[in-house]
Structures are given as structure tokens and as C-alpha cells.
């Protein structure tokens, strides 16, 4: 189970120590027992670096992936999740925002300042300033991830945690840029003047697993609202002519002020309960996380799979192509390949594990689509968390 990074999700990683030096010296693995060094951090770079030659900040700035260390199996297998799991992991465990109920009506920046407690080891990075205010009543026991997700959806924003432990929250084009810097296609790879080519096998998929035609909620003042098809139009009847219209009650909507309820339900529906067209891209790219960031837009072009858009013309390698622009929702199972660097960061120092890593081969899966990934049991059964 190599490196997995999910947009606004904890993801996972695992690294096996071997390095043709079996048995792995206990002098090495005894440096980071879970009992004393758990919640340390694993750092992966796309090329090996001597950590003695750089500061910790520089190492993090050069990192491809930074994860929390939460488990050790058979002494030589280390595993954990992405550092954004400090906000809340796949089971909802995280820093609790509040222990008593409170209500606030304020703008986005003020909400982020309210919801970013000092216990989280993040620096405040780029925080956007969208208009409007939002009135919400927080109940005791809400995790920071749940709180920030709610606020970001209301204001049309997203959040991310960079490898440098900087926390950003803004509209996605400010976080990642609106113009792709890479193209996934079966035909080419390598770098052009403006684009990085990712040679890929593209597998389209459309699912109704998350679709809800009606979304109902009740505001904090007791007023109810039912929003029909807030996400996108869908041809009824469903279920082979049965005329079924799946609906869902939005848990937590009773904490939203009555005046904000309709907008809240529509925003939730558009991002979480719509038809979910996705593409799964398989690639043997050496380091997909260096080629394109999770959350960033990506050109995807494969006419044989009906993946193209005549309204989007780009030039690559002397060719004119018409790719779709889709956002990267997850990069899954990226191998830790020979040539990369792997380090363990404790509270006090950094250990170079590169010479002891059992290198991996195989392909990486890049998942792209128009909707945010959210945690659902089907994903957890497959072994990775959204």
C-alpha cells in the first residue's frame, strides 16, 4: 500500500524497510517505536537528498509527500495517513472545535480563524476573502475537519494542507490555478514548453452512488426546506420506469440559520449528492505527485474513450488537441520507486531511511472528476479513505 493523497481527505501511506539488508537492524527500527515516536512524520522526496545538507524547512519544501506515522507492523512496515489528517482522520478523530454550543454570524476569514485551534501543528497560509457572512450554531464535539468542510462549502471555497504544514483556504482557482500544467493522454509523455505529458490509460466511470434528487433540511429556527435536484438535471423516471426520486435529509442542517438554509442545501447538494462522473487514469509516471497536484486542473485527452472537448484547444508536442479540463480528486497507490528519498522526522531530528526502503514498482491511479470526493463505505472497503 504505497502513497495515496486525496483531496481534502486523509489518504494513506505505507513503506516497507528491506533494502537487501535483511534482517533490518534493530538499531534502525528502534529509533521510531510507535509507543514513543507515533505521530511523527514520514517525508518522501522525488530524488534522494542528504538531510544533513538542508534544514528541515527546506526538506519539507522539496517533499513530494508528507504523512503522519501511526502504525508499525512486523517491525519493518511503517504506515499512516497524510498530514491533513491532523484536522480529522477517516473515523472523524481530530481536534474538537468546541465543548459548549455557540452561534456566530461572520465572514470566511473570521470563521477560519475561529476554527483553526492552536493544537493543530499548521501555519496559517493563504486565506481567501469571499463575500457574504454565514450564521451557524456549533454543537459540542465537532471535529475541525467537519467544521472547516462546512464553512468552505458554504462560501464556495476549499482547503488544503501543503507539505510545509501551511494551511490554505480559498476558492480553488486561487489555490491551484485555473490553467492546467499537465496533460494525461495515451499517446505522449515528457515535457513540452508549457505542459507535462503523463502517458496514461484512461477508464471513464459514471456513478449514481451519491446522487440525491431531493435534499431536505430544517433551519435552527424550525423552518424546513426541500431543494429538488439542486446539483444538476437528471432525466426521470429512475429505476427502470419506477419513478423513484432518491432523497436525503441533511444532518446538521438544523444548525444553519433559517435565512441561510436554502443556500446551504443547494451548496451541499451540488458538491456532495450529484451524479459523479469520474475518470480513472492509470500511469507508470515516475512520480505522479510531482507531475500534477491533487486538487489541480488536468488536461485529459483520449477520443477513443470519448474524453475530449472541442471548446478547449491546446498545443502539445507539435500537435493540436482538444482535451477536457478536469480536476484531480486523488492520486492513489503511487509507488515509492528507487531513486526517491525517504526520511523519518521525529520531534528533534530527521533520519534517512532511503538505503533501507524496499522499492516498489507498478502503476499509479489518478482519479479526476468534477465533484469532491467524500468518505463513503464503498471506498473504505477498497482500502483507502477519502
Domain ranges of the chain: 3-89+328-363, 102-175, 178-206+276-326, 212-272
Q: Give the pLDDT of residue 310.
A: 92
Whole-angstrom distance, CA of residue 72 vs CA of residue 375: 25
pLDDT along the chain (386 residues), means of 10: 89 84 75 86 95 93 96 89 90 82 92 77 88 88 86 90 94 95 91 90 77 84 82 52 72 87 80 69 95 95 90 89 93 96 89 91 89 38 36
Cβ atoms of 271 and 229 within 8 Å: the answer is no
Whole-angstrom distance, CA of residue 10 vs CA of residue 230: 28
Q: Give the pLDDT of residue 143.
A: 82
Q: Give the pLDDT of residue 119.
A: 58
Q: Give the pLDDT of residue 73.
A: 87
106 φ/ψ angles, rounded to the nearest 5 degrees: -155, 175
Q: Could you tell me the three cell numbers for 177?
A: 490555478
Question: Exposed (0-12), middle (13-18) or buried (19+): which is 198, by Cβ within 10 Å?
Answer: buried
Cβ atoms of 257 and 223 within 8 Å: the answer is no
Compute the radius of gyration of the chain from its Cα atoms. 22
Question: Exposed (0-12), middle (13-18) or buried (19+): which is 298, by Cβ within 10 Å?
Answer: buried
Whole-angstrom distance, CA of residue 169 vs CA of residue 125: 8
Q: Give the pLDDT of residue 237.
A: 46
Q: Give the pLDDT of residue 375.
A: 35
Q: Give the pLDDT of residue 270.
A: 65
Q: What is the CATH number of domain 102-175?
A: 3.55.50
Whole-prediction pTM: 0.84
Whole-angstrom distance, CA of residue 41 vs CA of residue 222: 46
Q: Give the pLDDT of residue 379.
A: 33
**β pairing state of 324-334 and 224-228:** unpaired
Amino acid at each position: 500500500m504505497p502513497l495515496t493523497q486525496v483531496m481534502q481527505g486523509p489518504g494513506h501511506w505505507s513503506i516497507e524497510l528491506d533494502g537487501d539488508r535483511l534482517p533490518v537492524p534493530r538499531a534502525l527500527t528502534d529509533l521510531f517505536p510507535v509507543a514513543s515516536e507515533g505521530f511523527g512524520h514520514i517525508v518522501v522526496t522525488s530524488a534522494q537528498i542528504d538531510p544533513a545538507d538542508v534544514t528541515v524547512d527546506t526538506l519539507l519544501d522539496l517533499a513530494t509527500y508528507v504523512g503522519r506515522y501511526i502504525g508499525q507492523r512486523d517491525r519493518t512496515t511503517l504506515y499512516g495517513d497524510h498530514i491533513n489528517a491532523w484536522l480529522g482522520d477517516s473515523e472523524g478523530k481530530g481536534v474538537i472545535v468546541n465543548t459548549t454550543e455557540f452561534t456566530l454570524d461572520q465572514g470566511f476569514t473570521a470563521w477560519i480563524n475561529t476554527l483553526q485551534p492552536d493544537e493543530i501543528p499548521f501555519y496559517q497560509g493563504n486565506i481567501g476573502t469571499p463575500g457574504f457572512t454565514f450564521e451557524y450554531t456549533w454543537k459540542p464535539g465537532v471535529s475541525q475537519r467537519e467544521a472547516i468542510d462546512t464553512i468552505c462549502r458554504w462560501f464556495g471555497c476549499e482547503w488544503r494542507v501543503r507539505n510545509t504544514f501551511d494551511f490554505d483556504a480559498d476558492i480553488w482557482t486561487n489555490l491551484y490555478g485555473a490553467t492546467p500544467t499537465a496533460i494525461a493522454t495515451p499517446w505522449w509523455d515528457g515535457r513540452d514548453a508549457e505542459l507535462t505529458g503523463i502517458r496514461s490509460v484512461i477508464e471513464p466511470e459514471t456513478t449514481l452512488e451519491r446522487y440525491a434528487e431531493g435534499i431536505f433540511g430544517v433551519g435552527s429556527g424550525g423552518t424546513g426546506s426541500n431543494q429538488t435536484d439542486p446539483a444538476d438535471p437528471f432525466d426521470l423516471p429512475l429505476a427502470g420506469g419506477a419513478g423513484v426520486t432518491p432523497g436525503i435529509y441533511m444532518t446538521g442542517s438544523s444548525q444553519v440559520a433559517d435565512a441561510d438554509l436554502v443556500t446551504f442545501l443547494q451548496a451541499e447538494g451540488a458538491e456532495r449528492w450529484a451524479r459523479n462522473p469520474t475518470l480513472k487514469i492509470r500511469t507508470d509516471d515516475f512520480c505522479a505527485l510531482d507531475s500534477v497536484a491533487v486538487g489541480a486542473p488536468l488536461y485529459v485527452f483520449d477520443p477513443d474513450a470519448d474524453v475530449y472537448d472541442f471548446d478547449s484547444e491546446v498545443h502539445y508536442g507539435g500537435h493540436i488537441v482538444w482535451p477536457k479540463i478536469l480536476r484531480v480528486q486523488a492520486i492513489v497507490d503511487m509507488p515509492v520507486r528507487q531513486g526517491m528519498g525517504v526520511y523519518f522526522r521525529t520531534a528533534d531530528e530527521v533520519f534517512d531511511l532511503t538505503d533501507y526502503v524496499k522499492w516498489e514498482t507498478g502503476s499509479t491511479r489518478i482519479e479526476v472528476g468534477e465533484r469532491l470526493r467524500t468518505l463513503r463505505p464503498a471506498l473504505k472497503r477498497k482500502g483507502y479513505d477519502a
